[in-house]
Structure 1
Amino acid sequence: MAFVIEKPTLKDIAQMRALVSDEVKRGVILERSEEEMANAIRSYHIVRDGGEIVGFCALYVYSSSLGELRSLIVKESHRGRGIASALIESIKIEARDLGLEEVLVLTYRERLFQKLGFVIIDKTLLPNHKIWADCIKCKHFPICDEIALIAKI
Structure 2
Amino acid sequence: MQALVAPQIENGVILARSDDEIATNIRSYTLAMDGEKLIGFCALHIHSPNLAEIRSMIIDETYRGKKIGSTLVDTVCQEGKKLGLHEVLALTYQQLFFERLGFIEIPKESIPEHKIWADCIKCKHFPICNEVSLIKTL
Q: TM-score, normalised by structure 1?
A: 0.88
Q: CA deviation at 1:124?
A: 0.4
Q: Which residue of 2 aligns with 1:71?
A: 56
Could you tell me which runs of 5 or more consecutive residues in structure 1 were left unpaired when the two chains were aligned. 1-15
Q: Which residue of 2 aligns with 1:120?
A: 105
Q: Percent identity among equivalent residues?
A: 48
Q: Secondary structure at the match of 1:32?
A: coil
Could you tell me which runs of 5 or more consecutive residues in structure 2 were left unpaired when the two chains were aligned. none
Deviations 1:68-99 (A, max 9, x none): 00011000000000000000000100000110
Taking the aligned partners of 2:44 and 2:89, their CA distance within structure 1 comes to: 10
Q: CA deviation at 1:63?
A: 0.3
Q: Which residue of 2 aligns with 1:37?
A: 22
Q: CA deviation at 1:142?
A: 0.7
Q: Structure 1 runs of 4+ off > 3 angstroms?
A: none
Taking the aligned partners of 2:96 and 2:76, their CA distance within structure 1 comes to: 17
Q: Which residue of 1 aligns with 2:74?
A: 89
* 1:1-80 paired onto structure 2 within 5 Å: 16-80=1-65
1:59 is aligned with what amino acid? L
Deviations 1:90-131 (A, max 9, x none): 010000011000000000111111011100000001222111
Taking the aligned partners of 1:129 and 1:136, their CA distance within structure 2 comes to: 12
Task: Report the count of equivalent residues.
Answer: 137
Q: TM-score, normalised by structure 2?
A: 0.98
